[in-house]
A and B are shown apart, each in its own frame.
Chain A
Amino acid sequence: MAKHQEPGRSAQRPGQITRRQVLAGAFATVGGLTATACRRSSLIAGPEAPADPTKVQGLPPGDAAGRRSPFVRLTREAGWTFWSYTPLDSIDGIITPSDLHYEVHHAGAPVIDPNRWTLTIHGMVERPIVLNLDDLRRFPSFSRIVFLECSGNGPFAWRGAASPEDTAQKLVGLTSCSLWTGVAVSTLLREAGVKPGAKWALAEGSDAAVMTRSIPIDKLMSDAMVAYGQNGEPLRIAQGFPARLLLPGWEGNTNVKWLRRLELSDAPFMHKEETGSYTDPMPDGKVRQFTFVIEARSIITSPSGGHTLQGPGFCEIRGLAWSGRGRIKRVEVSTDGGGAWLPATLDEPVLPMAHTRFRFPWKWDGKEAVIESRAIDETGYVQPTRAQLVKARGTGSKYHFNGIQPWRVSRDGKVTNAGA
């Protein structure tokens, strides 16, 4: 048993192991097992490879060697025609590869010629200005790791329409995290000169929906960015090439892609995406509007739905946590269906408004188990259960579901959605 329990920690539970035991190699000889496969592999059968790669010259430097190995398959899974999910259970760390960043479009992803693209800043400003991409890149720039999550990430769980077969990708795959590079919106607004009385700005995209959201000026002046870079390269088409709005911690759709203008105003424009869509009807007849912030959420990505544990033994539980209100302070994991909650290890870096990787050492004893995680952010907010959310908000909203996601590990090792 653990000799150095943390203060307030309950006694060790069956199947619970301590870091000390892991460090001591306590499981090196468990049942004589080799490594227990307890995560989904992205490896596939590939083409013919040399029997001994040390005996033949390899690929020359260039495109072929820069690609993903043909033995690796990582893909987004399409939802309906206008969104696709990040394979959360197949990627490591906190950065989502750019081509795997989730996407939601309202009228497809437009292909835009950067030489003809401009950003106009006008309305309640001293000097209406037009910037081209070169102009944008001349402004002082900075980079920041920020998650984006669609407010509709998990509508199946809201409506109780989830299935036991659901995967982490399908249930929660509309969240991704990138290193974004761009210009502070406050810099751009200073360039144009904000007139007194300006309280909101209309952000408008140049897709076929000419998608808009009204954004409070306070957010634009505090930490908003017009981003042109993602993970070291120009934005991908699906992420708004050549430039998008980036509002750390706010629901994905407000981060308007293919941004063509910002129009400052004294009031919100009340366009479709902030009235007919992306609003939250409540059981009492009220409709919540401008529900911008993404509240704290976490999910165990391995093992998770669709995985199969090969046998009892050590299985590191891994997952992601994030909050639109700041840093993740703690993630707790339960392996007994919510009875006992123990703290997981948070991997550095732990950044505000960014995916945070957590890990938790677990020894599966071969019996049925329900594993789940809950995030606590720096404001003290604790990720709720689905039952708590439904009690407060009913099931009429499609948005802002952030309930705890339980996974059931059956005796045969199959992992299914216990929230269904």
Chain B
Amino acid sequence: MARSRTPVHKPVRKLALLAGAVLLAAFPAQAGDQGSLGIGRAATTQELARYAAFSVRPDGRGLPEGRGAAVEGKGVYTKTCAKCHGPTGKEGGKTGNRPTPPLVDTRPFKVGLTNATVGNYWPYSTTIWDYIHRAMPFDHPGTLSNDQIYAVTAYLLYANRLIGERDVVDAYSLPKLRMPNRDAFVPDPRPDVP
């Protein structure tokens, strides 16, 4: 590391020394690591476990234990989802004065001609589980069990004619389902105008 040539750099050097000292106390296992100021504390395993099911990825990482099929999910849908998204999911509806999107459209997505739903537009099936888990139902977010979320995910996939009524959806099977609009997604080509 180059020696500082001007007094301006001195405080920085002092800070680095101070940081080193604090670091020893905060992270004894990584003592001597450059770049750390020793602020904050190490996250515990329990803290990180709380976030595990909020880290669902297309390859299935993050999906928790549990399972469900459309035959079970229909009841969950009717009870907790239908009042905003419509009796079958094709209708959509309103939450307050805010439009609520339809969730079912079995036609291939075509801009302006079909709805864009979790079935014909969303490129990954894992996103359905993740979004229900993190944000739904709108009036009581985060209240469904993992099994209920798998079941209602299965129901939506079934209603969109992507799986069978008795197909089991779980952490193993869900990521295997290839969604019909997957290949439509492309990176940002802008600037594209004029």
Residues of A bordering B, CB below 8 Å: 80-82, 106-107, 120, 122-123, 126-132, 135, 138-139, 187, 190-191, 193, 202, 204, 208-212, 261, 263, 265, 267, 269-272, 275-276, 279, 281-283, 285-293, 295, 381-382, 384, 388-389, 391-396, 400
* Chain B interface SS verdict (over half): loop
From A122, A127, A210, contact of B36 by CB (8 A): A127
Residues of B bordering A, CB below 8 Å: 27, 30, 33, 35-37, 39-43, 47-48, 51, 54-59, 96-99, 109-112, 116, 118, 121-124, 126-127, 130-131, 134-135, 138, 141-142, 181, 184-194
**Residue numbers in A under 8 Å from B186 (CB-CB):** 286-289
B118 touches A276 (CB 8 A): yes
CB distance from B120 to the nearest CB of A (A): 11
A290 touches B187 (CB 8 A): yes
Q: How many Å lie between the Cα of A22 and that of B99 in the bound state? A: 51
B35 touches A190 (CB 8 A): yes
Given the contacts A80-B97, A120-B51, A267 and B42 also touching, CB distance less than 8 Å: no
**Residue numbers in A under 8 Å from B141 (CB-CB):** 107, 208-210
A190 touches B36 (CB 8 A): yes
**Residue numbers in A under 8 Å from B47 (CB-CB):** 120, 130
Q: How many Å lie between the Cα of A271 and that of B118 in the bound state? A: 12
A138 touches B185 (CB 8 A): no
Chain A residue nearest in CB terms to B19: A191
**Residue numbers in A under 8 Å from B110 (CB-CB):** 285
**Residue numbers in A under 8 Å from B127 (CB-CB):** 270-272, 275-276
CB distance from B100 to the nearest CB of A (A): 11
Q: How many Å lie between the Cα of A285 and that of B110 in the bound state? A: 7
Q: Max chain B CB contacts within 10 Å: which of A191, A211, A388?
A: A191
B57 touches A122 (CB 8 A): no
Q: How many Å lie between the Cα of A285 and that of B113 in the bound state? A: 12
CB distance from B114 to the nearest CB of A (A): 11
A129 touches B98 (CB 8 A): no
B96 touches A81 (CB 8 A): yes
Chain A residue nearest in CB terms to B113: A396
B98 touches A388 (CB 8 A): no
Q: How many Å lie between the Cα of A263 and that of B33 in the bound state? A: 21
